[in-house]
Amino acid sequence: MSKEQKFIATISKEFTFDAAHHIPSMPDGHKCRSLHGHTYRVEILLRDYVGESGFFIDYGDIAALWNAYVNIHLDHKLLNDLIPIPTTENLASWIVRELVDHLPSLDRVRVHESSSTYCEVSVMELRAAGVLPIPLAPRTLTPRGVVIPEKK
Report, as residue numbers or ranges, the catalytic residues: 32, 76, 113
In this structure, what DSSP letter does residue 129 have?
T
Strand 36-49: give its sheet, edge to edge: 77-78, 8-21, 36-49, 106-114, 117-122
Cα 93 to Cα 5, 11, 123, 148: the distances in Å are 33, 19, 9, 22
**Based on C-alpha coordinates, what's the Rg of the chain?**
17
In this structure, what DSSP letter does residue 151 have?
P
Distance of alpha carbon 69 from the chain centroid: 10
